[in-house]
Amino acid sequence: MTLFTPLVLPNGSTLPNRIAKAAMEENMADADHAPSEHLMRLYQAWAEGGAGLLISGNVMVDSRAMTGPGGVVLEDDEQLARFERWARIGRAKGAQFWLQINHPGRQMQSNLGQPTWAPSAVALELGNLSKRFATPQEMTPAVIQDVIEHFTRTAQLGEQAGFTGVEIHAAHGYLLSQFLSPLTNQRNDQWGGSLENRARLLLEIVKAVRAVVSPGFAVAVKLNSADFQRGGFSAEDAQQVVRLLNGLNVDLVELSGGSYEAPAMQGQARDGRTLAREAYFLEFAREIRAVASMPVMVTGGIRRAPVAQQVLDSGIEMVGIGTALAIDPNLPRDWQLGLGSAPQLPPITWNNKVLASLANMAVVKYQLHQLSQGRDSQPGVSPLWALVTQQVKDLFRTRQYRRRMERRQAR
């Protein structure tokens, strides 16, 4: 099996190769939270680059719950024509194109002006940056049901628009990940306590989505291999959740890790068993592979073809690549031609790990912005410049978002 061997998913559809463009936070929506022209151009570059699967950055299921002010939202059919065009662009060269659908829970900045909901009223701990996030309200049963319906509606609209699947985001400390972790889920009802109860929201969403989409439409789950916090969601928990997913017609599980509080997805808080600078979560993925009935994908730091092949040789079916494809969208095509491309960002070694994490995300977004304008990436950009530039953009987009939400509420 090579990187360019097709993969037949449980639903019977085929991915043309084993390389996936993993989700990254693009924040390139237009003023209506639909895909912008810049976002279209970015995905055209990835489609032409040769990956067999494109997974979008966060597509929010509810405009009141955003991971960032420039995020794409799919909650009704008002902008469906824009999504249809986005789907056509992503699929133009034969790749499958899935929407990563998400709800931030407590990981939503308070300056967006919306109520923050989470399984329990547990605030984020980010040092001096903690004040940017409100202490969340504990979700009522009615709010939980509303979230299930929003995920289901977004998946249904995604299929209607021409996407070939959805990936339900239950990693990186967002809402479904918050339900899975005993640190953030301190409920004593049917949605908390035992792991089976903490996993209930994810399982109910998977079942609800599967019930409204066609059999050939992919339903995938992004799961933390662990959240790297003492007393939190563990590798053993991840294995048990995958066992619970086995009977629900899930087409793929993507393994990542970490959260805003412990950004392991950036390689800064990996488990001691995973020492390589690439394929951060491979050790965990092997353990998941042993219990999973569906294909497994591992994402985190992969940038060289031999490492990607090593992932496949270990029994993992798919290789997810993020940052390297933000630098070089043609990486899969280069590898198929035998070129030894291995794009990399210079490490950020600031003492403040939270700021370093924000700067790393800003540098990646800077590359995406360059590609979206038809320009070459600039991996050597100053992290401080990228961070400041991103903060200024976010301030503008935050004001824009608040004005839009005020107009909606005034209708």
CA atoms within 13 A on the CB side of 129: 14
Average pLDDT over residues 9-26: 97
pLDDT, position 262: 60
C-alpha to C-alpha distances, 151 to 187, 309, 370, 409, nearest whole angstrom:
22, 34, 31, 22
- Judge whether residue 194 has pLDDT over 60: yes
* Rounded percentage of the chain residues whose pLDDT exceeds 90: 83
Which residues make Cβ contacts (< 8 Å) with residue 132, sequence separation at least 6?
Answer: 109, 110, 111, 126
Which of 334, 294, 301, 338 lies closest to 317, judged by CA?
294
Average pLDDT over residues 192-196: 97
Q: Which amino acid is at 380?
A: G
* Rounded percentage of the chain residues whose pLDDT exceeds 70: 93
Average pLDDT, the chain: 92
pLDDT, position 266: 47
- pLDDT tens digits along 372-390: 999 999 999 999 999 999 9
Cα torsion 346, 350, 351, 356: sign: negative
- Judge whether residue 163 has pLDDT over 80: yes
- pLDDT tens digits along 276-309: 445 567 788 888 999 999 999 998 889 999 999 9
C-alpha to C-alpha distances, 406 to 60, 98, 113, nearest whole angstrom:
18, 31, 10
pLDDT, position 227: 62
Comparing 56-65, 75-84, 259-268, the range with the smallest average pLDDT is: 259-268
Give Dmax over CA atoms of the chain in angstroms. Answer: 58
Average pLDDT over residues 168-191: 96
Whether the pTM exceeds 0.75: the reply is: yes
Average pLDDT over residues 91-98: 98
Q: Which amino acid is at 311?
A: V
pLDDT, position 279: 59
- Domain-by-domain residue ranges, the chain? 7-345
**CA pair distance 133, 410, nearest whole angstrom:** 25
Torsion angle, alpha carbons of 345, 351, 355, 361, to 10: 10
Q: What is 250-317 written as a DSSP string?
A: --EEEEE---SSS-GGGTSS--TT---SSSTTHHHHHHHHTT-SS-EEEESS--SHHHHHHHHHTT--
The architecture that CATH gives domain 7-345 is Alpha-Beta Barrel (3.20)
**CA pair distance 230, 251, nearest whole angstrom:** 31
- Judge whether residue 259 has pLDDT over 80: no
Which of 72, 61, 64, 75 lies closest to 35, judged by CA?
72
Average pLDDT over residues 23-34: 95
- Judge whether residue 236 has pLDDT over 60: yes
- Judge whether residue 226 has pLDDT over 90: no
Q: State the burial class of residue 40 (Cβ atoms within 10 Å of its Cβ: 0-12, 13-18, 19+).
A: middle
pLDDT, position 284: 82
